[in-house]
Chains A and B, each alone.
Chain A
Amino acid sequence: MTTETLKPASQAPRLRMPSAASTNRVRFPGILRSEAIKLRSLRSTVWSYAVLVLISLGLAALMAATLASSIEGQVPAEAQTAIVMQVSSFPVALGQLVAAVLGVLFIAGEYGTGMIRSTLSSVPRRLPVLWAKSLVLFATTFLVGLVSTVGAYLIGSPLLAASDVAAPLTDPDVLRAVVGGALYLALIAVFALGVGTVVRSSAGGIAVVLGIILILPTVLQLIPADWAANMIPYLLSDAGLGGLGIESGTPGGLEPWQQLLVVLGWVVASLSAGAILMKRRDA
């Protein structure tokens, strides 16, 4: 054993933590803050949210302009509300793809880079991480979703007003489209988070989620059987978009609250599967 040359005192490692160790416990608010830092400190998430808002505003403007130019004569009040609803929430149909990708990446990105090992070493009970991620993702996506749908309403309304089509934001149906659209985006993101936890791969997770949102409805429509047609209203995207005034006249005829329950069911299923596997598997 050789003797070690000690570093000068000024350079000696300062190892002691100034604050008392007993206050530095793992607590849920801390885990929430940690996940919030993670979400906002990646360029990919910031860009995805920006894209979500921008395509919403762009699509709303495009759709409102197209509708306004095709309208001739006086539109009945009820139809006016329906048009405003569509303009406000139509961007959600595209925005859900961005929310889905975001949800998958929020966890699969950690598995892909190895970050998950740092995360689970600092929170070895593991599940609080998944709950914190869900809450942070839900809240952020809901807020950004609200900016998108309210923004879509604000951009679309003046264009539609030129053709004498108008409905106030406070109209219950318009409010449902605006708030419901944001809620749906947030729930899709959390659903995708659950899938990403199960699959642990960005590419695989995105494929599964987009398959469920985009391909499953088409496949069921192609099957010439009653059971297939009966299942369509219970699909994630059909139930989610059905209440927003986009998919008009769904055959199953679910009430909006039932549609919300269907979406929640999908979210609970994917998060539960993710939680069970996250707890059980080696990281």
Chain B
Amino acid sequence: MIEAQNLTKTYGAKTAVNDITFTVRPGIVTGFLGPNGAGKSTTMRMIVGLDRPTHGSVTVNGRHYADHSSPLHEVGALLDAKAVHTGRSAENHLLALAATHSIPKRRVHEVIELTGLQSVARKRVGGFSLGMGQRLGIAAALLGDPQTLILDEPINGLDPEGVRWVRSLVRSLAAEGRTVLLSSHLMSEMAVTADHLIVLGKGRVIADAAVADVIGGAARASVRVRSPQASVLASTLASPDVTVTHVEHDLLTVTGLDAGAVGDLAARSGIALHELTPMNASLEEAYLQLTNDDVEYRTGSSARDLEVTR
């Protein structure tokens, strides 16, 4: 259980995290989302005491991280895959971390095996690929068999098998009743891995809800319509509550009407349809809508234009 209360962090004039309050519950995977600079990493660093909050506080299982007698057993964190001395071997890196908690050597070899690093464990970390660096970071996070896991972009640079492995790992850890906080920019992965989402934007919590609610609440479902008379259909459908987008010359995306309503209108006007597909909003769409709104209100930037031209 991670509890943040009015957590605030300012660097000089810049506010990275602005008075946020949230709870990360055990037994589920909580996804931590937000655009670059939204304050995710800063928040994660404050949880493990690397950064000191300007105001407010954050506790893990009721205590500040530094007040736990066995911090690595309490929280395993992958905050930055580069938090390793490049001149040291992976094995020695883990042995040095394990020694602080008198964690036996056996456990070090266990996490090396678990993360598939056996063949490179004695090589210097400086020569590691991004994916191997991530595996080492995950190995370090698992070292203390922690009750709470905090993983910042853990699948960054992993191969598909590694991505799948991380997914099943965090899901099984959560199933054991542990607390898992996970950040990722890959929405499709987040949609299948996380149960709950906390979305940050400009240092504030802009959503804190179950994944299904975020998708359902933020984005409107749309309908894909293919018709040889697409332009005629578009003008037939047009109304203030309906948005029609030309995707191709014969393909429209309609929001504001369900598939049945589109089909009925087309039939009434005698327009032939070649395809009529209801589209569920994806997490990515929901996320972009949430965060674009946030960006728009604050800076008036053209993030939404970018999305349209994409």
Q: Using CB atoms and an 8 Å cutoff, list the residues of chain A in contact with chain B.
A: 1-2, 4-7, 12-19, 21-27, 30-31, 33-35, 37-38, 41-44, 109-110, 113-125, 282-283
Contact = CB atoms under 8 A, between A and B. Distances in A.
Interface residues of B, number: 56
B85 A115 contact: yes
A15 B173 contact: yes
Contact of A30 (B69, B101, B140): B101
Contact of B87 (A6, A42, A120, A283): A42
Contact of A43 (B50, B71, B87): B87
B163 interface: no
Contact of B51 (A5, A17, A283): A283
A124 B60 CA distance: 13
Contacts of B171: 4
A113 B125 CA distance: 11
B80 interface: yes
A234 to B, nearest CB: 36
A14 B101 contact: no
A33 B83 contact: no
B7 interface: no
A15 B142 contact: yes
B100 interface: yes
B129 interface: no
Given A30-B100, A34-B96, A24 B70 contact: yes
Contacts of B52: 282
Interface of B: 45, 48-52, 65-66, 68-73, 77, 79-80, 82-89, 92-93, 95-104, 106-107, 110, 114, 140, 142, 144-145, 165, 167-169, 171-173, 176, 192, 195, 211
B100 A122 contact: yes
Given A4-B168, A12-B172, A124-B49, A41 B66 contact: no
A15 B145 contact: yes
Contacts of A7: 165, 168
Contacts, number: 145
Nearest to B75: A121
Contacts of A119: 97
Contacts of A17: 103, 107, 144-145
A161 to B, nearest CB: 43
A115 B106 contact: no
B292 to A, nearest CB: 25
Nearest to B178: A15
B84 A25 contact: no
Contacts of B114: 13-14
A8 to B, nearest CB: 11
A23 B71 contact: no
A181 to B, nearest CB: 29
B303 to A, nearest CB: 28
A283 B142 contact: no
Contacts of A4: 167-168, 171
14 contacts: A15-B173, A17-B103, A24-B101, A26-B100, A27-B102, A30-B102, A33-B99, A34-B97, A34-B100, A37-B92, A43-B87, A109-B87, A118-B83, A123-B100
Given A18-B106, A26-B71, A114 B50 contact: no
Given A24-B70, A113-B84, A13 B100 contact: no
Given A15-B173, A124-B71, 19 more contacts: A1-B211, A4-B168, A12-B172, A21-B70, A24-B70, A37-B95, A37-B99, A38-B96, A41-B95, A41-B96, A113-B82, A115-B84, A115-B85, A118-B140, A121-B50, A121-B79, A123-B71, A124-B48, A282-B45
Nearest to A128: B100
A25 B171 CA distance: 27
Nearest to B192: A2
Contacts of B88: 38, 41-42, 115
A109 B84 CA distance: 10
A17 B142 CA distance: 10
Contacts of A26: 69-72, 100-101
Nearest to B66: A124
Nearest to B141: A121
Contacts of B167: 4
Contacts of B195: 1
Contact of A282 (B50, B68, B110): B50
Contacts of A123: 71, 100
A282 B49 CA distance: 9
A22 B144 CA distance: 11
B87 A122 contact: no
B176 to A, nearest CB: 7
